[in-house]
Amino acid sequence: MTRFSRHASVALAAAALAVTVTACNPPADKAKSDTKTEEAAKGSGPQIAGLPTEKDKVSYMIGMQMGKSLEQVKDEVDVDVIAKAIRSSLAGEKMLMDEKQAQEIAQAFGQKMQEKMIAKAKADAEKNKAEGDKFLAENAKKPGVKTTASGLQYQVITEGTGPKPKDTDVVRVHYKGALLDGKTFDSSYDRGTPATFPLGGVIPGWREGLALMPVGSKYKLWIPASIGYGEAGTQGGPIGPNATLVFEVELLEIVKPDAK
């Protein structure tokens, strides 16, 4: 099966599961349950313009799920042809291709998409590296910015007075991570809770940067890809290949073993 046909099956299965779970849940209040049953029989529920019946709503919901699953291949498919295949399959009509042909097409299409993804990743990696190198070269000239032998750049915003952590320590920090375009991809500030983790388990740029910081410090770090997420970036995530990262980090404390 192709990737999008698997997603479509998942969407249909999820819809069926939701209906099954709802039907199997024991009612907490029989009167309320009876009322809901009567409302369902009348096709009530959320009133949505253009979708007057339950069948319309369920059909549209499944279409939305299928549309989301097709997002990555939207330029490679014809929605009208997809709809034609669905209609023929549900009607039990003779399909225009057999299972063997479908499998061959799926394999060829998968290979094509993999090659496109590899080419795009390579182009993105080259672009991101060039942009990162240019940015770091200019950033190194700014007042207060220091560059280490690894290429890490940092600026002291607030200098603390506590001890500096070692790779073997567990630290508690507040931080915000962004790309060079300013887009935030992670932030403990947004979550409202500091992060706690072993320093030895994070990317090299973080380990080096935090090792420079006395507890109570706030630094700004610029981390090149070579000591960040490298050519791979984060698979399926917000950090592209060879991306240079910008962090604001507050080292709140070195966590004692009995305080984890």
Total residue length of the chain:
260
Spatial contact of 226 and 148, defined as CB atoms under 8 Å apart:
no
SS3 220: strand
Burial 165-184 (b: 16+ CB within 10 A, else e): beeebbbbbbbbbbbbeeee
3-state percent breakdown (helix, strand, coil) of the chain, nearest 5: 50, 15, 35
Q: Are strands 170-179 and 153-158 parallel, antiparallel or unpaired?
A: unpaired
**Catalytic positions:** 175, 185-186, 203, 229, 247
Neighbours of 222 (CB within 10 A): 24
Q: What residues does 56 pair with on adjacent strands?
A: none
**In this structure, what token pair is assigned to residue 241?**
């290949």
Q: Is the dihedral of CA 150, 156, 160, 161 positive or negative?
A: positive
CA dihedral 169, 173, 178, 184 (to 10 degrees): 140
**In this structure, what token pair is assigned to residue 61?**
């919901």
Q: What residues does 177 pair with on adjacent strands?
A: 186, 247
Residue 15 backbone phi and psi in degrees, to 5: -65, -45
**In this structure, what token pair is assigned to residue 53?**
């019946």
Residue type, 195: A
